[in-house]
Amino acid sequence: MPMFSLDFRVHSEVGRVRKNNQDAAFASPNLLVVADGMGGAAAGDLASAVAAKEASERDRRLDNEHLVEHMAGIVQRANDKLADLIENNPQLDGMGTTFSGAAFSGTMLGVAHIGDSRGYLLRDDELKQLTHDHSWVQSLIDEGRITPEQAATHPHRSLILKVLNGAGDTDPDFFELPVLEGDRVLFCSDGLSGLMGEDDLHELMSLDDLDECVSRLSALANEHGGHDNISLVLAQVVPQNDELDAAEPQLAGSALEREIPAVTHEEEEGPGYPEPEPVEDPDHDSTERARYAPRENKSKHRWPTVLAAVMAGAIVVGVAFWGVRVYSSSRYFIAAADGRVGIYNGLPGSLLGHEMNTLVERRDTQVSDLPVFFQRQVANTIGFSDLASANDAANLLDGYAARCAKARQQRLGPMARPNEPRPSEPEGPGLPTEPSAAASLSNSPGQTNYPTLLAPMSPTAAEEADPESC
């Protein structure tokens, strides 16, 4: 079987909106990784830096048999490191990171994936998404409740179901991928994949020059808004080349900018993923290998193992629920509250019978006074990462409603009946399964305020799409 090499490129940037880079990336002749941190003040940049540096510290060429095992060990160690950092500094609780990448043997990729960063394969002029998003909207797509097109504009498209956050069972996806000469492999954060369709990705990944490909991909993401950090690693499979195999590894993004604090408590040995024997590095750290060495599995230990598994399962469920509650406490959204604009803390809907949100403030602004465009937005809920942003948006809605109320009054003149009861609004927020959940709203905001003879026609599609149209 012929051996191959990787001609790789790595890129990470802040984008046009964010103030800091919470993405990290690592690429070498043996390993490709992208990590997208989250948590804002809770140090998303630290989480992604931990993941990328953990990969860089275990950069070595392995055979096919150990590829997935090796990636599992990297993921487990990264998650353990996050847990250690949170234990030392509870203020870091809430940070997390995606992880998408692969180890390369010369003939095969061993892929690891968790979160909504993505991996793509371009082979024979056909683009294929390798990874499956661990996100709320992807779960709705899998259930047939929404389409991929609807998912692109869904108000909860940023909600991730699985990440590395130092808690519980990470449960990543692992698989092997044999490679062919000419294959191109891309791992990227959603700051890239979320701002362009597969047609754009296909066109740009097909460019002959890898440097131009990377440049054009990042430029297009910025042209489409650049509202998130943009990170990617791109590699082409080529005939074995000694110069490429000796290329210097590269770190990018937060992995270059964020210093990882030292862990002060004493680490304990415990079960985990084994560290496979390297092909070319027999002198690697045996102590680290022992920490994750496989435990003996004799029949006399079966019942204790089963009991431990049951207990671990219960713990994982509890930790997962706690993790969701912790995450939800840092989120805010705008939705209808008794027919008025309301600001909520948490996530829409409920989990295991527990409401995941509380009402923070009920504004005086009636939802029915808003332009139709914003009525639909509020009905779908509008999410925010902090209270200040939610208040700013609510103030903006107040202004739109006041302007529309004034405009309607001017149009109607003395025949208007401003004190007429308003149509009722749905009670409290919900978690829509489709972006079109607001379709049941009145076709004309504030319609009952008009005398019969002056009732306006329903707004046109253009007017409904115009945020300033009353």
- 3-state secondary structure at position 294: coil
Please count the helices (runs of H) and the strands (runs of E) in the chain. 14, 16
Residue 308: inside a domain, yes or no? Answer: no
pTM of the predicted model, to two decimals? 0.60
Question: Same structural domain for residues 129 and 267?
Answer: yes
Question: Same structural domain for residues 362 and 218?
Answer: no
Question: Same structural domain for residues 340 and 414?
Answer: yes
Read off the DSSP letter of residue 135: B
| CATH classification at residue 257 | 3.60.40.10
Q: Which of 67-71, 273-277, 293-297 has the lowest mean pLDDT?
A: 293-297
Residue 32 pLDDT exceeds 60: yes
Mark which of 295, 322, 342 sits at the end of a domain. 295
Question: Same structural domain for residues 281 and 336?
Answer: no
CA 366 – CA 445 distance, rounded (Å): 10
Question: Same structural domain for residues 338 and 286?
Answer: no
- The top-scoring range by mean pLDDT among 7-21, 27-41, 343-357, 423-437 is 7-21
pLDDT at 470: 74
Residue 48: inside a domain, yes or no? Answer: yes
Q: Report the mean per-residue pLDDT for the chain.
A: 80
Residue 326: inside a domain, yes or no? Answer: no
Question: Same structural domain for residues 241 and 361?
Answer: no
Question: Same structural domain for residues 434 and 353?
Answer: yes
pLDDT at 372: 86
Select the more confidently predicted residue: 17 or 445: 17
- 3-state secondary structure at position 113: strand
Provide the H-helix boundaries in 247-335.
254-257, 286-291, 302-329
Read off the DSSP letter of residue 300: G
**Radius of gyration of the CA atoms of the chain, in A:** 26
- The top-scoring range by mean pLDDT among 195-199, 326-330, 351-355 is 195-199
What is the rounded average pLDDT of the residues 120-141? Answer: 95
C-alpha distances in Å from residue 294, one per residue of 2, 269, 303, 392: 33, 12, 18, 53
What is the rounded average pLDDT of the residues 213-236? Answer: 97
Residue 320: inside a domain, yes or no? Answer: no
Residue 170 identity: T
- The top-scoring range by mean pLDDT among 156-165, 334-343, 388-397, 410-419 is 334-343
Exposure on the CB side of residue 26, measured as CA atoms within 13 A: 26
Segment 226-255, tens digit of pLDDT: 999 999 999 999 999 999 999 999 999 999
Residue 198: inside a domain, yes or no? Answer: yes
Residue 274: inside a domain, yes or no? Answer: yes
pLDDT at 40: 53
Residue 287: inside a domain, yes or no? Answer: yes
pLDDT at 309: 60
Residue 307: inside a domain, yes or no? Answer: no
Nearest to 448 by CA among 366, 374, 381: 366
Tokens of 141: 């797509």
Q: How many domains does the chain have?
A: 2
Question: Same structural domain for residues 74 and 193?
Answer: yes
pLDDT at 449: 32
Segment 359-411, tens digit of pLDDT: 999 999 999 999 888 888 899 889 887 898 889 889 989 988 988 888 877 77
What is the rounded average pLDDT of the residues 315-328? Answer: 59
Q: Which of 229-243, 253-267, 451-465 has the lowest mean pLDDT?
A: 451-465
First-to-last C-alpha distance (Å) of the chain? 68
Nearest to 80 by CA among 324, 273, 252, 254: 273
Segment 33-46, tens digit of pLDDT: 999 999 855 689 99
Q: Which of 44-53, 175-184, 379-388 has the lowest mean pLDDT?
A: 379-388
CA 173 – CA 114 distance, rounded (Å): 6
Question: Same structural domain for residues 284 and 431?
Answer: no
pLDDT band at 317 (very low <50, low <70, confident <90, very high): low
Q: Which of 98-107, 136-145, 336-345, 436-445 has the lowest mean pLDDT?
A: 436-445
Question: Same structural domain for residues 359 and 248?
Answer: no
Task: Look up the domain containing 246 and give its range.
Answer: 4-295
Tokens of 24: 């990290």
pLDDT at 377: 86
Residue by residue, DSSP assigns 412-447 as HGGG--TTSPPPP--SS----SSTTGGGGS-SSTTG
**Are the C-beta atoms of 55 and 30 separated by less than 8 Å?**
no
Tokens of 173: 């996806």
Question: Same structural domain for residues 287 and 339?
Answer: no
Determine what percent of the chain is predicted with pLDDT higher than 70: 74
pLDDT at 384: 83
Question: Same structural domain for residues 85 and 188?
Answer: yes
pLDDT at 33: 98
pLDDT at 458: 46
